[in-house]
Amino acid sequence: MKYNRIIVWFRNDLRVHDHASLSSSIEKGKEVVPVFCFDPRNFRELDLGISKSGSIRTKFLIESVDNLKKNLQKLGADLIIRIGKPEEKLIEMALELKADAIFFTEEVTEEEKKVENNLEKAAWGKGIETKSFWQSTLFHIEDLPFPINQIPEVFTQFRKECEKFSRVKKTIGLPTKINFPSESIDMGYIPKLSTFGLPDKPISSKSVLGFKGGEDEGKKRLLTYFWENDCLKSYKETRNGLLGADYSSKFSSWLSLGCISPRFVYEEVIRYEKGRKKNQSTYWLIFELIWRDYFRFICRKHGSKVFQIQGIKNNVDNWSKDKNLFFKWADGLTGIPFIDANMRELNQTGFMSNRGRQNVASFLVNDLGIDWRWGAAYFESMLIDYDVCSNWGNWMYIAGVGNDPRENRYFNILRQANAYDPKGEYIRHWIPEISQIPASDIHQPFELSTSDLNKLGIDLGKTYPHPIVEFKI
């Protein structure tokens, strides 16, 4: 069937390469109208008093939308921008432009599905067709070796079955031209942070990378990490680093908004393996993409359970809701340097290493006993690479209410700190007020005597907080 005019609703798929709904609309529609809606509900204030999407994360989104607009213009089209509820704005636009259909990428979690369902219902009532496409994972949902309701509850089983029986579909080629309507259309505008009541918050110059949103930036990062700096061959050995641009790929920020597709990354890994080197490190990057898939399929399987306090294990609710303790954690003022350094990096840059994330999450839920959903919500607000499935899946995992064969995913913070930051370089980078402390003591300044601290110009409780919990290695 050929449509006269198709609206392509962009969501977390802000790219023109490997784009199923865009490609299909070009093939099936005489004219294609790309649209992005900034949904005000995504910037609302949560009960904790924080924005659902904070300044740094929102800035990355705005940059990504702006880059998508430019890339569509290169193909002869443009991006119409609206601010409002997509299920309302898209219907208004479809009626105004006499569009036959709305194509979009399918999501899996509660809020996103509700918007999809409301859109489809409203569109059906107006005689407008809708079509959704699956394109957020490495393995297509149709190619899984099991139905969704039988997805294994243990990752290793999922990975092995997929590696054995599934294949990764080829990426969809880049369009050469998009037929965009010639009539005058209100294109809308790229909003500013102030549009959503958010302050302009520049990323700290201490950031491991100058993160900027967009498909072009995502591809540029891959080019740098794989081909120019040749880092992929040692990814497995360096991925638990804390400082520097290249200890890990940092692709997650662009993957989260679909600025690059996981299949595009996969094909580049295969090309690297053929042209440069194939080893455990090259496989490990694919392994991480499969983890990303796993969380998405688990969220599809379990629905709203992933946001409930008992998680998917139906554990008893015995979590504390101490806001004072929570915000000491969030603000990087726990008095435990390894925790505080990681939280300060997050607050000032919108990024934190994987090693850091596991430790700060374990500290919040295991050492402080705070409701794990508060931590997940804080990460949602702050992380530029926030991915709803990976974020909530990982938090459930650490909290012991998710997909983990082990009962207790506890991290000994001081042992981890000494293992991954033995010289205290990471601590000095983010907590300059205790940088004078020698490496042997920097992870536990609270164990130094008052006189030793005074000699270093540190007054515990004033210069740097007393620890909010007590523990030793």
Between residues 176 and 1, the one the model is more confident about: 176
Helix (H, G, I), strand (E, B) or coil at 193: helix
- Please say whether the beta carbons of 107 and 257 come within 8 A: no
Read off the pLDDT of each residue in 363-392 and give the average, rounded to a whole number. Answer: 97
User: Which segment of 15-19, 300-304, 316-320, 401-405 scores lowest on mean pLDDT?
Assistant: 401-405
5, 28 contact by CB (below 8 A): no
Q: What is the pLDDT of residue 174?
A: 96
pTM, entire model: 0.97
Is 1-135 CATH 3.90.1150.10? Answer: no
E strand or H helix at 294, and its extent? helix 280-302
Q: Where are the domains of the chain?
A: 1-135, 136-170+215-303, 323-456
Q: Give residue 33's Cα distance to chain centre.
A: 27
Spell out the residues 6+ positions from residue 298 whose beta carbon is closer than 8 angstroms to its own: 151, 306, 312, 389, 393, 402, 403
Q: Is 83 a residue whose pLDDT tops 90?
A: yes
Of the pLDDT bands very low, low, confident and very high (cuts 50, 70, 90), residue 411 is confident
Which tops the pLDDT comparison, 406 or 120? 120
**Distance from C-alpha of 270 to C-alpha of 76, rounded to nearest angstrom:** 32
What are the tens digits of pLDDT across the range 20-32? 999 999 999 999 9
Binding residues for FAD: 235, 248-252, 288-295, 385-387
DSSP state of 254: H
C-alpha–C-alpha distance, residues 360 and 341, integer Å: 10
Q: What is the pLDDT of residue 419?
A: 96
Annotation: CATH topology of 323-456: DNA Cyclobutane Dipyrimidine Photolyase, subunit A; domain 3 (1.10.579)
The model's pLDDT over 32-79, given as tens digits with 9 standing for 90+, comes to: 999 999 999 999 999 999 999 999 999 999 999 999 999 999 999 999
**CB contact at 8 A, 263 and 272:** no
Is the pLDDT at 472 greater than 70? The verdict is: no
> pLDDT by residue (tens digit) across 186-212?
999 999 999 999 999 899 999 999 999
Checking if the pLDDT of 392 tops 90, the result is yes
pLDDT tens per residue, range 108-139: 999 999 999 999 999 999 999 999 999 999 99
The Cα 244–Cα 409 span in angstroms is 27
101-105 β-sheet, strand order? 80-83, 29-38, 3-10, 101-105, 129-133
Q: What is the model's pLDDT at position 406? A: 62
% helix, strand, coil for the chain, step of 5: 50, 10, 40
Q: What pLDDT shows up at residue 53? A: 98
Return the biggest CA–CA distance within the chain: 81
Place of tokens 């891959």: 222
Asked if pLDDT for residue 404 goes beyond 70, the answer is no
- Mean pLDDT of the region 240-256: 97
Which SS3 state, helix, strand or coil, does residue 353 take? coil
Cβ burial of 35 (10 Å; 0-12, 13-18, 19+) is buried
> Would you tell me the crossing angle of helices 354-362 and 337-349 to the nearest 10 degrees?
120
- Residue holding tokens 């070009």? 26
**Lowest-confidence pick of 158-167, 230-239, 315-324, 361-370:** 315-324
Which residues does the annotation place in the binding site? 235, 248-252, 288-295, 385-387
- Average pLDDT estimate for 395-404: 87
**136-170+215-303: what CATH class?**
mainly alpha
What's the CA angle centered on 172, arms 166 and 173, to 5 degrees?
A: 145
| Cα 168 to Cα 154: distance, rounded to the nearest angstrom | 21
405: pLDDT strictly greater than 90: no
**Interval 336-372: pLDDT, tens:** 999 999 999 999 999 999 999 999 999 999 999 999 9
Q: What is the pLDDT of residues 281-320, one digit of tens each?
A: 999 999 999 999 999 999 999 999 999 999 998 777 789 9
What is the Cα–Cα distance from 396 to 393, expressed in whole angstroms? 5
DSSP state of 110: H
Nearest Cα to Cα of residue 81 among 116, 127, 35: 35
